[in-house]
């Protein structure tokens, strides 16, 4: 996927990773970047075209696809964290996680796949998480949503290969964003996450493991899960 001269669209571009994606895509030579958010008034990246796009609202997604008919690269970055558990958490929060991370991502893919096909194939980037592969008390709804999004990424890659669309999954542990406020472990800067992600996109990688967290968690899947979840200390 050649970013130079591409026309990109980024969801959740008002802060964190999304803001960095919009900015760095321009720096890498994208001819146009649509920066989208359900609150577009919060987008402050110079040089972008601002669109309203709420990934949980199908009409909003379809309107964005109609307005941005020249797109060749879609970055599915929008996400939420309700900190809900699956058994005891508010079921509405669990549904919001799945509506955002699975159905929201899928809705954007379905709306923009024909656009990408008309424009030569292009690429889709889905921002995932190391929590696609493990669970932690207090974030189990988020983990389930991201696990579904990881499976979705692999599935749509197969379905879209015939139209020449590159699908890349970006997997990371903790990034220093508003979503991770209060977390006291090691975190990667949003700029470094996006730089590594876009390097992988340009290299044609199917999956980009951004940090030691993501690489270690994926490697653990080949072992007995009790080893991973055994208390440390």
Using left for φ > 0, alpha for ψ between -120 and 50, and beta otherwise, residue 164 falls in left
Strand 123-127, strand 166-171: pairing: parallel
| Terminal C-alpha separation, the chain | 44
Name the residue range of residue 85's domain: 7-229
The DSSP element (H or E) to which 30 belongs, if any, is: none
State how far the Cα of 164 lies from the Cα of 157, in Å rounded to an integer.
Answer: 10
Burial class (CB in 10 A: 0-12, 13-18, 19+), 87: exposed
Domain assignment of residue 20, yes or no: yes
Q: Read off the pLDDT of residues 31-78 as tens digits, 9 standing for 90 and up.
A: 999 999 999 999 999 999 999 999 999 999 999 999 999 999 999 999
Q: Please check whether residue 167 lies inside any domain of the structure.
A: yes
- pLDDT of 1 reads 85
pLDDT level of residue 182 (50, 70, 90 thresholds): low
* CA within 13 Å, CB half, 148: 18
Looking at the structure of the chain, the number of domains it has is: 1
**Domain-embedded: residue 2:** no
Residue 91 burial class via C-beta count within 10 angstroms: exposed 0-12, middle 13-18, buried 19 and up: exposed
What pTM was estimated for this model as a whole?
0.93
pLDDT in tens, 106-149: 999 999 999 999 999 999 999 999 999 999 999 999 999 999 99
Residue 152 lies in a domain: yes
Question: Residues near 134 by Cβ (< 8 Å), separated by ≥ 6?
Answer: 143, 217, 220, 228, 229
Find the catalytic residue in 34, 142, 183, 229: 142
Take residue 61 and report the two structure tokens written for it. Answer: 């997604």
Tell me if 71 is assigned to some domain.
Answer: yes
- Give the single-character DSSP code of 47: T
When pLDDT is averaged across residues 95-114 and rounded to a whole number, the result is: 98
User: Is 184 among the domain residues?
Assistant: yes
Strand partners, 208: 170
The CATH number of the domain holding residue 18 is 3.40.50.720
Structure-token pair, residue 43: 């987008």
142 is catalytic: yes
State whether residue 44 is helix, strand or coil.
coil
* Greater model confidence, 199 or 174: 199
């Amino acid at each position: 996927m050649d970013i130079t001269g591409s026309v990109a669209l980024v969801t959740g571009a008002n802060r964190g990773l999304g803001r960095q994606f919009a900015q760095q895509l321009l720096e890498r030579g994208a001819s146009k970047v649509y920066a989208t958010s359900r609150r577009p008034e919060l987008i402050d990246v110079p040089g972008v075209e601002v669109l309203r796009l709420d990934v949980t609202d199908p009409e909003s997604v379809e309107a964005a696809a109609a307005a941005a008919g020249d797109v060749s690269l879609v970055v599915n970055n929008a996400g939420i964290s309700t900190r809900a558990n699956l058994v005891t958490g508010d079921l509405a929060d669990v549904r919001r996680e799945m509506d955002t991370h699975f159905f929201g991502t899928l809705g954007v893919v379905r709306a923009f796949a024909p656009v990408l096909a008309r424009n030569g194939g292009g690429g889709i980037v889905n921002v995932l998480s190391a929590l696609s592969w493990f669970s932690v008390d207090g974030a189990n709804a988020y983990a389930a949503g991201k696990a579904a999004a990881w499976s979705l990424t692999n599935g749509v890659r197969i379905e879209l290969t015939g139209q020449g669309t590159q699908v890349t999954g970006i997997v990371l542990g903790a990034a220093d964003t508003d979503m991770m406020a209060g977390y006291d472990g090691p975190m990667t800067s949003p700029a470094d996450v996006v730089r590594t992600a876009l390097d992988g996109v340009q290299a044609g990688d199917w999956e980009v493991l951004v940090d030691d967290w993501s690489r270690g968690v994926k490697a653990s899947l080949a072992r007995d899960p009790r080893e991973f979840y055994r208390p440390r200390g």
